[in-house]
Amino acid sequence: MTAPPTAELRARRWARPRQNRICPSILSADFARLGDEIASVARVGADFLHVDVMDAQFVPNLTFGPILVRAMRRLTSLPLDVHLMIVEPLRHLEAFASAGADHLIVHLEAVEDPKRSLREIRARGLKAGLSVKPGTPLPRYLEALPECDVALVMTVEPGRGGQEFLEGSEKRIAAVREAIDRDGLDCLLGVDGGIHPETAVRAARAGADTFIAGNSIFGTPDPPEALRELRRALERG
């Protein structure tokens, strides 16, 4: 069993060069052997583990809660990137923070005051992220970026894995990248949905630096090799 990460280890992982961070999403993992699945991608350089929390209200599906995050915290030293696709996410920040999350990402569409929501996450000593759906206009999202550690652009409609990368996503990624660079923000730019070697390269060219991939890694016969191929594609691209 791997010991939980120290604050020093978490800080070192965040300080890596901001290119090609690959974050396997456990939504597509084999839960009968979750420890082995996590270890297999950790060995080949996964940067974070992405945990999709769904409540069957904000999105159609129902998935995980703090109990799973707590179990994962005992299994790995990788930072846990917890994506709250739920209504009223602020009610649950403390539960996920206590369970061992390192990053908490809330949806623009689920919070009344995104800047305050991000401050509440950071006040708990966690990295704060804000996600936006494909159909949501960007101006309100861009206004909140100064409070973000992670800007997450959804490249599918949130709610289920295995969807295809939506056309037009590059334009939205580029708009967020432009805002981050213009204001000199200390913020990762992640993409989530339909990410595989080809679409990851497209997203990277638009300005993404962090890539969440589930089915294209855990849905293959060899997840470590799939992760390595994704990284090779990004390096070539």
Which residue numbers are catalytic? Answer: 52, 192
| Integer CA distances (angstroms), 56 to 76, 84, 88, 183, in order | 28, 12, 13, 36
Q: CB of 150 within 8 A of CB of 129?
A: yes
Q: Positive or negative, the Cα torsion across 171, 177, 183, 187?
A: positive
Q: Is 194 in a helix, a strand, or coil?
A: coil
Question: DSSP letter at 22?
Answer: E
Q: Is 19 in a helix, a strand, or coil?
A: coil
Q: Is 124 exposed, middle or buried (0-12, 13-18, 19+ CB in 10 A)?
A: middle
| Integer CA distances (angstroms), 149 to 157, 163, 188, in order | 22, 26, 6
Q: CB of 142 within 8 A of CB of 114?
A: no
One-letter amino acid for residue 180 of the chain: I
Packing angle of the helix pair 197-206, 169-182 (nearest 10 deg) = 40
Question: DSSP letter at 54?
Answer: E
